């Protein structure tokens, strides 16, 4: 144990000495921290992007999963890492909501990172078990308003995207449903398919195949425009439910203080990745698409994070549920 720490320390010293001069960055493999479990939707997005960035940067971008505490453990790790461009964070909307959900965070989501760029906005869908008594979103809202005591809404735990979306939905409709938390979307989806719970608001990455397979009913997508992989689903706006607009946006970050040339190089590699055909195709299968090139920039992400923190603060405080 001690030997390994010494060995690692020696390696790190040599590596640091061999320098992170922006001209030759990167000179060794880069770690992309994903603050969630491997195999999940965020991890998949990360691996797709990392693989392509490895090619354009000329050095391996290795995905490392540091899950736990709703993504804050991994984020904290990167916030405290050396700002030399060799440790990055790929996080989703949880980066902004953590600022309000976690009252004892050891880092500041809006300030302790150097944003690199947005990656994708994964749409969310409002879905229900197969034999739920509502044909479309309007009937759903009516039914929910009339029977708030009879309807259960599943989510993947406090702070999860499905939890946030569910919060928005309940606030927009004006009812308090019984929320049933699960440890992750897999179990939640399982119970939805099995008919044990009634409703769920979740990312297209998780719901698309079930919708297409007919295992669950879908009512709407929560993005401003319809989703290409689910063209028959109206948007919440079209269907008359204002205020339920949420997408699981993903962003790439470096620790605060990372030299600007390094950040710019990373942003460029990210933009190249997002233009790639294979990446776009895989994203499409997940029901999403890469963001426009203008949004895959440090400024766009930085502004967006701040606006999202401000946007979710009142929603979360009025719901009164925190993660710690």
Instruction: Summarize as ranges the residues that interact with another protein (CB under 8 A).
Output: 1, 4, 37-40, 43-44, 47-48, 51, 62-69, 72-73, 76, 101, 104, 106, 149, 152, 157-159, 178-184, 186-187, 189-191, 193-197, 205, 208-210, 212-215, 281-282, 285-286, 321-324
Residues 25/261, Cβ–Cβ less than 8 Å: yes
Nearest to another protein of 114, 177 (CB atom): 177
CA distances from 3 to 10, 12, 47, 299 (A): 10, 14, 32, 43
Give first-to-last CA distance, the chain, whole Å. Answer: 33
Instruction: Give the number of residues written for the chain.
Output: 324
Burial group, residue 201, by CB count within 10 angstroms (0-12, 13-18, 19+) = buried
Compute the radius of gyration of the chain from its Cα atoms. 20
Quote the CA–CA distance of 201 and 128 in Å, as a whole number.
9
Pairing outcome for strands 247-255 and 113-129: antiparallel
Minimum distance of another protein from residue 300's CB (angstroms):
27
Nearest to another protein of 43, 308 (CB atom): 43
Nearest to another protein of 96, 263 (CB atom): 96
Alpha carbon 199 to chain centroid, angstroms? 21
Minimum distance of another protein from residue 141's CB (angstroms):
21
Nearest to another protein of 195, 240 (CB atom): 195
Nearest to another protein of 113, 304 (CB atom): 113
Pairing outcome for strands 61-65 and 30-34: parallel
Minimum distance of another protein from residue 66's CB (angstroms):
6
Minimum distance of another protein from residue 79's CB (angstroms):
12
Question: Which residues are paired to 90 by β-bridges?
Answer: 252
DSSP label of 211: H
Minimum distance of another protein from residue 40's CB (angstroms):
7
CA distances from 238 to 91, 136, 150, 234, 288 (A): 30, 12, 26, 6, 19
Minimum distance of another protein from residue 207's CB (angstroms):
10
Per the rule left: phi > 0, alpha: psi between -120 and 50, beta: everything else, 292 is: beta
Minimum distance of another protein from residue 98's CB (angstroms):
12
Minimum distance of another protein from residue 285's CB (angstroms):
6
Nearest to another protein of 23, 104 (CB atom): 104
Residues 270/49, Cβ–Cβ less than 8 Å: yes
Q: How many CB atoms lie within 10 A of CB 177?
A: 19
Nearest to another protein of 39, 58 (CB atom): 39
The answer for residues whose C-beta is within 8 angstroms of residue 171's C-beta and 6 or more apart is 243, 315, 318, 319
Nearest to another protein of 159, 298 (CB atom): 159
């Amino acid at each position: 144990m001690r030997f390994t720490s010494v060995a690692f320390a020696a390696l790190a010293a040599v590596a640091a000495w061999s320098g992170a001069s922006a001209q030759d960055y990167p000179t060794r493999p880069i770690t992309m921290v994903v603050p969630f479990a491997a195999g999940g939707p965020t991890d998949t997005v990360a691996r797709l992007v990392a693989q392509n960035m490895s090619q354009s940067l000329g050095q391996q971008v290795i995905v490392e999963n540091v899950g736990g505490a709703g993504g804050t453990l991994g984020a904290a790790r990167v916030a405290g890492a050396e700002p030399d461009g060799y440790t990055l964070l790929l996080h989703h909307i949880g980066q902004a909501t953590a600022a309000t959900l976690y009252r004892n965070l050891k880092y500041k989501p809006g300030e302790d990172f150097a944003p690199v760029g947005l990656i994708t906005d994964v749409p969310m869908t409002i879905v229900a078990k197969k034999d739920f008594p509502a044909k479309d979103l309007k009937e759903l809202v009516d039914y929910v308003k009339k029977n708030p005591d009879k309807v259960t809404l599943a989510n993947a735990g406090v702070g999860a995207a499905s939890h946030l979306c569910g919060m928005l939905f309940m606030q927009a409709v004006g009812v308090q449903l019984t929320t049933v938390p699960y440890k992750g979307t897999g179990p939640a989806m399982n119970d939805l398919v099995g008919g044990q719970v009634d409703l769920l608001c979740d990312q297209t990455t998780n719901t698309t195949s079930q919708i297409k397979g007919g295992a669950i009913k879908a009512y709407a997508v929560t993005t401003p425009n319809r989703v290409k992989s689910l063209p028959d689903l109206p948007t919440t706006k079209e269907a008359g439910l204002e205020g339920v607009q949420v997408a699981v946006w993903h962003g790439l970050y470096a620790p605060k203080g990372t030299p600007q040339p390094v950040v710019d190089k990373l942003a460029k590699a990210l933009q190249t990745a997002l233009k790639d055909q294979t990446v776009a195709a895989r994203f499409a299968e997940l029901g999403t698409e890469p963001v426009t090139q203008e949004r895959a920039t440090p400024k766009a992400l930085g502004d967006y994070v701040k606006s999202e923190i401000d946007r979710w603060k009142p929603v979360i405080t009025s719901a009164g549920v925190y993660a710690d």
